[in-house]
Amino acid sequence: MTAAGPEFPASLTDDTAARLAAAGLATTYVLDVVTRALEEDLDGGVDVTSVATVPFDQESTADLVARADGVVAGLPVAAAVFEVATDDAVEITWLAEDGAQVRRGDVLMSLTAATRGLLTGERTALNLLCRMSGIATLTRAWADAVEGTGAAVRDTRKTTPGLRALEKYAVRCGGGVNHRMSLSDAAMVKDNHVVAAGGVAEAFRAVREAFPEVPVEVEGDTVDDAVEAVEAGADLVLLDNMPVADMRRAVEQVAGRARLEASGGLRLDNAREVAETGVDYLAVGALTHSAPILDIACDLREGPS
């Protein structure tokens, strides 16, 4: 640690790195998120409260405890925070796995390390863990609502800037599936593209000619739009703000020639009705832009466990 503030390590333990890899999260990305978050919290200085009140060589155990029922997501990310924030090694006991249903009072993880490091990393770890677990919990509610219909719940790009990979991973933990991760890995022809190109078919053809290998989804407001998009060759059609009756008609007329995705006006209380129209996906931006956190606390106890 320097006078200007801490110098964070550039690597994680093999165990945490392996858990992140299994989750589909790049270690370099997680390290970047964690380091930037800790640097924001310290603002070029040190954790003045912990430095003043905690001896340099004190060691403690911290328990991450669920304060509400829900689905946990982000435990390896929280572990990465503590490993980065702590100068010495962190001994971790994993007591839950991402995607698990947890109950109020469950201990999810215990970490033994330098007390200062645990306290410095606490808020950053909880900010990420509570956020991700909240997304997983909300996604599970939607996935349960459509269970057995054949439809899946998908996220959107309405994510927190810089946290997309973490939030989309949390959706997977909750039983949802991911839409495209970026503007480059799939095309979505929306209303403004249609206006700019001069029509649905024209917009589709332009994308297909420019990027022949990229999957193309076309947004349609009417049943006729959906049919036109399919006849043009669209792989997937977004049924935007359609009444349920029109969705059923779209499913009948498309007749399996492309996948269909419902979007707009979706709520938990009508999710099953929409899914039962026969659409393949429900696109739910609320999974990432409106999920409340899952309350998780960090409780410190002195000495090793």
Which residue out of 158, 205, 257, 272 is catalytically annotated? Answer: 158
Q: Which two tokens stand for residue 161?
A: 């800037």
Let me know the angle formed at the C-alpha of 265 by 193 and 250, rounded to the nearest 5 degrees.
65
Q: Which of 193, 206, 142, 196 is nearest to 170 (CA)?
A: 142
Are 8 and 38 in contact by the 8 Å Cβ rule? The answer is yes
Is there a catalytic annotation at residue 158? yes
- Tell whether the torsion through CA atoms of 29, 34, 40 and 43 is positive or negative: negative
Is there a catalytic annotation at residue 168? no
Residue 2 DSSP label: B
Burial letters 232-243, b for 16+ CB under 10 A, else e: bebbbbbbbebe
Give the contacts of 14 (CB within 8 A, at least 6 positions apart): none
Which residue out of 69, 87, 144, 190 is catalytically annotated? Answer: 190
Is there a catalytic annotation at residue 219? yes
Residue linked to tokens 């890899």: 21
Which residue out of 47, 122, 219, 228 is catalytically annotated? Answer: 219
Helix (H, G, I), strand (E, B) or coil at 85: helix
Which residue out of 83, 155, 225, 240 is catalytically annotated? Answer: 240
User: Rounded distance, CA 16 to CA 18, Å?
Assistant: 5
Let me know the angle formed at the C-alpha of 225 by 221 and 228, rounded to the nearest 5 degrees.
165
Task: Give the type of residue at 155.
Answer: D
Where is 232: in which H helix or E strand? helix 223-232
Burial letters 191-225, b for 16+ CB under 10 A, else e: eebbeebeebbebbebbbeeeeeeebbbbbbebeb
Let me know the angle formed at the C-alpha of 190 by 188 and 196, rounded to the nearest 5 degrees.
115
Which residue out of 123, 205, 257, 272 is catalytically annotated? Answer: 123
User: Which residues belong to the active site?
Assistant: 123, 158, 190, 219, 240
